[in-house]
Chains A and B, each alone.
Chain A
């Protein structure tokens, strides 16, 4: 059996390859950023120049933030698997890569993409909507744990639909039921962060979701990837 350190080197090679290709085309970064900022502007304009009251801030704004993140991720992340199938580089990958290392390398890429998106969008969103956040620490935690679940769930669904037809619509249709529990938990945590409440039972549940979807990903990916 190959040693663990070389498995990590494989995953790292995949991660580096993803970012190297991404930097040369900037396709995903552009798509994500464009999507995010367009929806951001729409939201901010609709809410009006005076922003929202505190009550609305804790009920409506957290939902809209996660909707923006969800749709941006859906626009930009599936490409990591879909493009391999469409350009047929997947054939070489199937012959050369260890499935678990491939999954983790691409997952790491997805995570960095989602975290970069969150780091960019959230401060601008909070500023543009005049949102009060009484516990910024809890907000950061919600973004981290929620972003992780978003990336992991999306990665596995992307790997599944990449081998089907009509990948665009299928991704949305398949990912929504899977990501819904994540979104509900992340929104609840974000609401509590905005209101300054304690995290409550939502945080352990969110972390448990992250764990479940990671285990599911690691166990199911080899069967999804290989014939």
Chain B
């Protein structure tokens, strides 16, 4: 059963201490909602959890099967990430982008393509020709390509119209119902009543 636990995570940039000993935990089927004003470190925390950023101090333990936590390199490959700065290859079509990353992740592209179909995204459009809302759909398709057990979502519904946001919320609910974990920051509407909250001070 997957589980995530992080303790006393610290991270500073130069002289600015962005994360000052943040702790939290998520169990199977659980969701952690990270809230706080601008600059409180929500995105930084998510980057540390995904392994894109190494914390200065503190422990991050993510377990999938078994007792041993995965090391940062393994964790990086296992998580599913949606973030505002995720970008794809403009010279390739949507389908080519997904197939490329599917080959990198050594999985068939079918799952990601199915999600894009559900969200509604033309597959033969070049990635440079996508509107911001369509780019966000591509990010979701990319994030779930390898059926991750842990989703790290930073501004997951950014630029979505109502129907796309609805479908994305369904995807998230299905993921949690299947025993997956999620850590979400900056969702457009903070109405996840069942979720645990972690508030980062300003």
Residues of A in contact with B (beta carbons under 8 Å apart): 2, 6, 9-10, 13-14, 16-17, 20-21, 24-25, 87-89, 91-98, 101, 226-227
Q: Are A94 and B89 in contact (CB under 8 A)?
A: no
Contacts of A94 in B (CB 8 A): 52, 76
Q: Are A227 and B54 in contact (CB under 8 A)?
A: yes
Known pairs A14-B104, A16-B100. 18 more at Cβ < 8 A?
A2-B106, A9-B103, A13-B103, A20-B91, A20-B92, A21-B89, A87-B87, A87-B90, A89-B89, A93-B104, A95-B52, A95-B81, A97-B104, A98-B104, A226-B72, A226-B73, A226-B76, A227-B52
B44 near A: Cβ within 8 Å?
A: no
B140 near A: Cβ within 8 Å?
A: no
- A10-B106, A17-B92, A24-B91 known; A92 and B53 CB under 8 Å? no
The chain B residue with its CB closest to the CB of A2 is B106
**Chain B 26-62 against A: per-residue CB contact (8 Å), 1 yes, 0 no?**
0000000000000000000000001111100000000
Q: Are B50 and A95 in contact (CB under 8 A)?
A: yes
- The number of A-B residue pairs with CB atoms under 8 Å apart is 67
- A9-B106, A227-B53 known; A95 and B88 CB under 8 Å? no
Contacts of A14 in B (CB 8 A): 104
Sample of 13 A–B contacts (CB below 8 Å): A13-B100, A17-B89, A20-B91, A20-B92, A25-B91, A87-B89, A88-B85, A88-B86, A92-B88, A92-B101, A95-B52, A101-B104, A226-B76
Bound-complex Cα distance A97 to B50 (A): 14
Contacts of B142 in A (CB 8 A): 92
Residue from B76, B89, B106 within 8 A of A95 (CB atoms):
B76
Q: Are A91 and B87 in contact (CB under 8 A)?
A: yes
Q: Are A92 and B86 in contact (CB under 8 A)?
A: yes
Contacts of A21 in B (CB 8 A): 89, 91-92
**Chain B 2-27 against A: per-residue CB contact (8 Å), 1 yes, 0 no?**
00000000000000000000000000
Contacts of B89 in A (CB 8 A): 17, 21, 87, 89
